Amino acid sequence: MPTLQFKTQLKLGLLLISLSLSAMLLWNYWQQSAPSRDRNQLYVELLERSGQLNRDLPKLLDQQTRFERAEVVNYGMRFVYALIAVDRFQHDAMALRRQVEDYLLNSFCHSKNMQFYRSRADFVEYLYQDRNNINLFTVRFVATDCTD
């Protein structure tokens, strides 16, 4: 038959174990929710930026390029452009991509306007469409693409 002292020690031990488990679960929840809050805040900031950009769009940038819209995609930003003099079936999409890719990468890596996206967003994507809104190509960059 267990003694009164043993029963008291057993109850105290069980209480300490349950408190320890509760503390560990609380710590784990706090650790997981902090990054989640940061990701939610990033998503909200991306939505706000896309909304600000889209107020003035679509907008003709030059004689051949129209900036259609900005979209938030999985914690990244997509900029959609239309090449208004290009028809997908009459032009080489890969040749067009090669013409703009270096310029876009340089802009992404060095433009002050892109600093937020380089430092916070998961990626930036440029989607080019032809005059009939058919996708020509997509170029995607992440911060690690900037080597200098």
Domain boundaries, the chain: 1-148
The answer on pLDDT for 28 being more than 80 is no
At 100-109, the pLDDT tens digits run 999 999 999 9
The answer on pLDDT for 51 being more than 90 is yes
CATH class of this structure's domain 1-148: alpha beta
Q: 143 and 97 in contact (C-beta within 8 Å)? A: no
Q: 123 and 141 in contact (C-beta within 8 Å)? A: yes
Q: Which has more pLDDT, 1 or 93? A: 93
Output the pLDDT for position 36: 66
In this prediction the pTM is: 0.74
Output the pLDDT for position 89: 86
Output the pLDDT for position 4: 74
CA distance 29 to 3: 39
Q: What is the DSSP letter of 113?
A: G
For residues 46-66, average pLDDT: 93
For residues 58-71, average pLDDT: 94
Return mean pLDDT, the chain: 87
For residues 33-62, average pLDDT: 87
Output the pLDDT for position 8: 79
Q: Which has more pLDDT, 99 or 35? A: 99
The answer on pLDDT for 31 being more than 70 is no
CA distance 71 to 46: 9
